[in-house]
Homo-oligomer: A and B are copies of this chain.
Amino acid sequence: MNSEFTIAVHSLVLLAYRPDHMATSDMIAHNVSTHPARVRKVMGCLRKMGYVTTKEGSGGGFILCCDPAEVTLAEIYKTTSIGSIKPGWCSGDTGQDCMVACNMADVMEQIFTEAEMQLLAYFDKLTIQQVLERLREAQQDKV
């Protein structure tokens, strides 16, 4: 799976966690452990979906503008990673005589698409808020 999904979830959770619901790409990148340019790319995606707004210029950054309890991981997966469970590599060969060889790619495509829908059904039950709660639980379990 595409790791932009993880970055998107992490960024939204971080914004939800921060009292002012705001952070720069540098702050997010440091928290996520990646490069600010990569964060900005992912945030661009979240902005298009209306989950964050951008304040440009000095003193700017990203501002959460959605209710963390309303946004599900399914929506985030759809925008960042749809199709990513299917391997890039494709079995078979449509040019062959054999019924198996020439239809396998199509059938596996069907199967992966259905599998992805199962995944989405699960992600649809998880919100950003719930991820934040899980983080708090994980923190408590440590002590």
Interface residues, chain A, CB within 8 Å of chain B? Answer: 1-3, 5-7, 9-10, 13-14, 17, 31-34, 73, 85-93, 96, 98-104, 106-108, 110-112, 114-115, 118-119, 121-123, 126, 131-132, 134-136, 138-139
Q: Write out the residue numbers on chain B whose beta carbons fall within 8 Å of the beta carbon of A14.
A: 100
A139 to chain B, nearest CB (A): 5
Q: Smallest Cβ distance from A73 to chain B, in angstroms? A: 8
From known contacts A106-B138, A107-B134, infer whether A87 and B122 are also in contact, taking CB-CB under 8 Å: no
Contact with A1, one of B10, B87, B98, B122 (Cβ below 8 angstroms): B87
Q: Chain A at the B interface: mostly helix, strand, loop or mixed?
A: helix
Oligomer: number of copies: 2
User: How far, in whole Å, are A108 and B2 apart by their CA atoms in the complex?
Assistant: 13
**A91 CB, nearest partner CB in chain B, Å:** 5
* Cβ A115 vs Cβ B106 within 8 A: no
B135 touches A91 (CB 8 A): no
Please give 18 more A-B residue pairs, beta carbons under 8 A apart, in addition to A10-B91, A31-B98, A107-B131.
A1-B85, A3-B87, A6-B87, A6-B89, A10-B92, A14-B100, A17-B99, A31-B92, A31-B96, A31-B100, A33-B92, A99-B136, A103-B138, A106-B138, A107-B138, A111-B134, A114-B122, A115-B122
